Structure 1
Amino acid sequence: MAVNNNPLSVWIAGQAAGELFSEQGEFVFRYEPDMTVQNFVSLTMPVRSRDYSHSALPPLFEMHLPEGYLLSVLQRHFAKLSGADDLSLLKLLAPSVRGRVHYQVDIEAVQPLELTDLLSPTAGLFDELVVRFALHSPVSGVQPKVLAQIQDKATLRMEDYIVKAWGPDYPQLALNEYWCMRVLKAAGITVPEFYLSDDSALFIMKRFDFTSTGQWLGFEDMCVLAAKSRKQKYEGSYEQLAKSITSFVSPQHKIAALQQFFKMMVLNNHLQNGDAHLKNFGLLYENIHNIWLAPAFDVVSTTAYIKNDVSALTLMGSRKWWSRKHLLTFGVQHCELTQAQANALYDECEQAMGLVAAQIQQALTTEVMADKQQILMHLLSCLAPK
């Protein structure tokens, strides 16, 4: 099969919005001549008559490409057929990109699962999921993961879940993420629906950009909003993230967004999440007038595996883990909080850490597997009062 050099048709909510193609070493996106302003492909790419031209695949489109494990699977099996550059890879995945921005209306059907299949997995299930869903998984992130379609038993509705596994380099990563997400949820931070399989082999998270009324929301991560590629996801500061939230989030959501971001920063520091990079924060939107901070996702304690790991981005010019005093200063100076508000939000985080720490201690009383005990003990040390 020859490499496909035809333009890739980009759609917004079922309507053709423009074409993406390569020309003379540049990646070009061209809007349809009659495109309305509300059908923008990205908050950073408003509708205009002039082409958008980039030396690399524009960040909005690159956001749909996989990384790490899944990327290696696709390159190993399909690069000879489709080409190895980013646009060729995007064309390969295009039929399965589901969201406000998509590339083809019709999506090849795959055999659905039920959530109980994931919660009580059989041996080799994740490998089976990779075979079944690899070409249907336009999700970023380096750890083993796939995007699986799950059918609700009661409604028969198809929904998308991200299913993550782990390898020997990061033992019990699913258990790690599950308890970290429980801390954030207990602190009142918006999080997606998530589960841990019975054997702790899989962390399962429901996509959060699809509403109960059947509407796809726009989602853009902070790499896109900062006009950076996925290779630059560790370049930047949390002050810049706060500034992006202030700049892009709609006025009616700005206070809540900055408060949630501040609490995320407090807990990322306590949990020592060294992977809180640009791609692990993002915004959701219905339209240009209704933009808010996306739920928290991909939170793990990386020091469980890398003892002296540091923060993914800089804060106050450093990648160290900061104390309450310094984080309160960050909240006041960059999240538009009063000192009293910052203290109250920090207290909410500490209360959540205490609550979940008690639950982890209870789980330890019946846990017999050494690697699980090690992760749980590490999380307890992170949650201990400092």
Structure 2
Amino acid sequence: MDKLAVKVDGKYVGNIIKENDEYIFDYVSEKNDDFISLIMPVRAKNYIHNKLHPIFEMHLPEGYLLSIIKKHFSKILKTDDFGLLKVMSPSIKGRLSYEMDANTKDDALYLEDLLHPKSEKLFDELVSRFALSSALSGVQPKVLATIRNKATLKLDDYIVKSWGEEYKELALNEYYCMQVVRGADIAVPEFFISDDEKLFIMKRFDIVEENRYLGFEDMCVLLGKQRDDKYDGTYEQIAKTIKIFVSNKHKKNSLKNFFKMTVINFLVQNGDAHLKNFGLVYDGIEDIRLAPAYDVVCTTLYIKDDIPALHLLGSKKWWDKKYLLRFGVQSCDLTQSEVESCFEMCVNSLKTVLKEIKQRELKEQDKDKKEILNILIERFQQYKN
């Protein structure tokens, strides 16, 4: 029997246990505020699953990081889901945490080190230092790095993403797509791109202050799905989940922002907007809202005939304005004037960024970057109302 203590805001609230082929979570706390997930309220009865519970699975690495960890550690530790959770548990920081390691090494860098890299191998160096403390999902090469603010000496966590030959200039792609999101007045984390444009850098958004975190759960967790099911869902399910869980004071704004996120995913043709790329944040059960937007890229830039990750109106196709507005009214409970206003904000933001890309493309000398910019221009211009 394997066992791991689970904490909420640093307080021991229960245990996750693997026994035979079952995963069991047992609360030791009787306080309602000590819930570990919005779909797992405090109760006397155990939560028993035949797979790791979605809230715990959310903390496991995927893709690139998972392959790195398995490559380096499979000979000395179990790399099944529970084994990964145990080995990474000392470094998982958030509202939910596990065993903390008092002797954790201070691996802090400065943000300037990332923005102005002096080595072409900087990302590889980050991986070697932070791989085991990077509980990040997704196939893109990324790592969670601890960065020190030069002025305040405060430590912050930043997600640092790189890219390979298969997805050339992915940092540049994401940087412009996230500018479209920000321009539509949707909450986004602070984000940057390095001088050489090889790294996309995004500040972690669930940290309120040092050692205090907001709760965060992605839609896979909230829908009770495993990570392998992240493409098995609909935009309507997400809207319904927002209406069920989000606090009344945040519901209208959350639904508006979710509708705008949906519109932008279609405007920029983001075919990887799956269930794990939407979530809720909360500061207690009475203060739940939609999480900031993240992981927005133009996937048809690399896969010309790519389709949306999730169903909308019963199909995975790039719907036009008429149908997106229908979704906003029918599923997001917005009025016709509200959906038209939100849609116009998204289109105006796209046009602003498109103008910036066109100006950049005229001056660009690098062949690969020029090619990517030209395809972005083509994709951003092809959306028809």
TM-score bracket relative to the smaller structure = over 0.9
Q: Cα distance, 1:178 vs. partner?
A: 0.4
Instruction: State the 4+ residue runs in structure 1 displaced beyond 6 angstroms.
Output: none
Question: Where in structure 2 are the equivalents of 1:230-309 lying within 5 Å?
Answer: 230-309=227-306
Q: Measure the CA separation in 2 of the matches of 1:179 and 1:134.
A: 27
Fraction of identical pairs, as percent: 52
177, 182, 202: which one aligns with 1:180? 177
What is the CA RMSD across the aligned residues, in angstroms?
Answer: 1.1
Q: Cα distance, 1:80 vs. partner?
A: 2.2
Q: Does 1:209 align with 2:206?
A: yes
In the other structure, the counterpart of 1:370 is 367
Query: Given that residues 181 and 264 in structure 2 are in contact (C-alpha distance below 8 angstroms), is that contact kept between their aligned partners in structure 1?
Result: yes
In the other structure, the counterpart of 1:109 is 105
Aligned partner of 2:380: which letter?
A: L
In the other structure, the counterpart of 1:164 is 161
Q: Measure the CA separation in 2 of the matches of 1:260 and 1:303.
A: 23
Q: Cα distance, 1:213 vs. partner?
A: 6.8
SS at match of 1:358: helix
Q: Does 1:69 align with 2:71?
A: no
Using structure 2 for the length normalisation, give the TM-score. Answer: 0.97
Q: Measure the CA separation in 1 of the matches of 2:252 and 2:379.
A: 28
Aligned partner of 1:70: which letter?
A: L
SS at match of 1:82: coil
Query: Given that residues 301 and 379 in structure 2 are in contact (C-alpha distance below 8 angstroms), is that contact kept between their aligned partners in structure 1?
Result: no
In the other structure, the counterpart of 1:357 is 354
Paired residues in the alignment total: 381
16, 19, 28: which one aligns with 2:15? 19
Aligned partner of 1:143: which letter?
A: Q
Question: Where in structure 2 are the equivalents of 1:140-151 lying within 5 Å?
Answer: 140-151=137-148
In the other structure, the counterpart of 2:49 is 54
Q: Measure the CA separation in 1 of the matches of 2:368 and 2:294.
A: 24
Structure 1: segments with no counterpart, 5+ residues: none
Query: Given that residues 17 and 24 in structure 2 are in contact (C-alpha distance below 8 angstroms), is that contact kept between their aligned partners in structure 1?
Result: yes
Aligned partner of 2:84: which letter?
A: L
* Distance of aligned partners of 1:309 and 1:63 in 2 relative to their CA distance in 1, 3 Å threshold: same
SS at match of 1:380: helix
Using structure 1 for the length normalisation, give the TM-score. Answer: 0.97
Q: Measure the CA separation in 2 of the matches of 1:225 and 1:111.
A: 33
Q: Could you report, residue by residue, the CA deviation over 1:313-360 in whole angstroms, capped at 9, with x for unpaired residues?
A: 011111110100110000000011111111111111111111111111
In the other structure, the counterpart of 2:222 is 225
Structure 2: segments with no counterpart, 5+ residues: none
Q: Cα distance, 1:110 vs. partner?
A: 3.4
SS at match of 1:80: coil
184, 190, 195: which one aligns with 2:192? 195
